[in-house]
């Protein structure tokens, strides 16, 4: 018996005993490698899925950010428009006020000038009257 020889401290049988053990060890190693590969594959798949999800999240975030920017711009535009409208109205009102004031001033100055002219006319008339009377008196004296 082969097993007897090994049990009693003898040398083992050359080929028959070693081969199955080596095969088993090899099978064990191969199984471990396969398991490792599967685990790695799973990890890889998980990483891939995570990346995919991350990509989707980033895409959605960008989309939302774009929408927000668009809305902000729209609001800003509306506000600017309203401000411009207010400014236009204010300017218009100022111009109107200035026009009215100018008109009033003009009216007053026209009145003053008219009064001055009237006064001058009266003075000239009176001067002419006096001159006429003086000439008349001179004629009377001569005549």
Q: What is the pLDDT of residues 45-60, one digit of tens each?
A: 788 889 999 999 999 9
Measured at the alpha carbon of residue 142, what is the angle toward residues 138 and 143, in degrees to the nearest 5? 115
Confidence of residue 28 (pLDDT cuts 50, 70, 90): confident
The model's pTM: 0.36
What's the pLDDT score for residue 20?
A: 55
Indicate whether 37 belongs to any domain. yes
What's the pLDDT score for residue 25?
A: 74
The pLDDT of residue 18 is above 70: no
Domain count, the chain: 1
Indicate whether 77 belongs to any domain. yes
Contacts of 5 (CB under 8 A, 6+ apart): 11, 12, 13
Residue 125's domain comprises: 17-142
Please give the distance of CA 73 from its chain centroid, rounded to a whole number: 5
Taking the C-alpha atoms of residue 23 and residue 61, their distance in angstroms, rounded to an integer, is 56
Q: What percent of the chain has pLDDT over 90?
A: 55
Indicate whether 123 belongs to any domain. yes
Q: Encode pLDDT of 122-139 as tens digits.
A: 999 999 999 999 999 888
Indicate whether 100 belongs to any domain. yes
The pLDDT of residue 27 is above 80: no
Indicate whether 84 belongs to any domain. yes
The pLDDT of residue 30 is above 70: yes
């Amino acid at each position: 018996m082969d097993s007897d020889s090994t049990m009693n401290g003898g040398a083992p049988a050359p080929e028959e005993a070693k081969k199955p053990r080596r095969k088993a060890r090899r099978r064990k190693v191969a199984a471990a490698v396969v398991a490792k590969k599967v685990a790695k594959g799973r990890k890889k798949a998980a990483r891939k899925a995570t990346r995919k999800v991350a990509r989707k999240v980033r895409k959605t975030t960008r989309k939302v950010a774009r929408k927000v920017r668009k809305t902000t711009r729209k609001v800003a535009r509306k506000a600017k428009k309203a401000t411009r409208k207010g400014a236009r109205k204010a300017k218009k009102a100022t111009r109107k006020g200035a026009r009215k004031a100018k008109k009033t001033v003009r009216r007053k100055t026209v009145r003053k000038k008219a009064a001055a002219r009237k006064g001058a006319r009266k003075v000239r008339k009176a001067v002419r009257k006096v001159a006429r009377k003086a000439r008349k008196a001179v004629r009377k004296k001569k005549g």
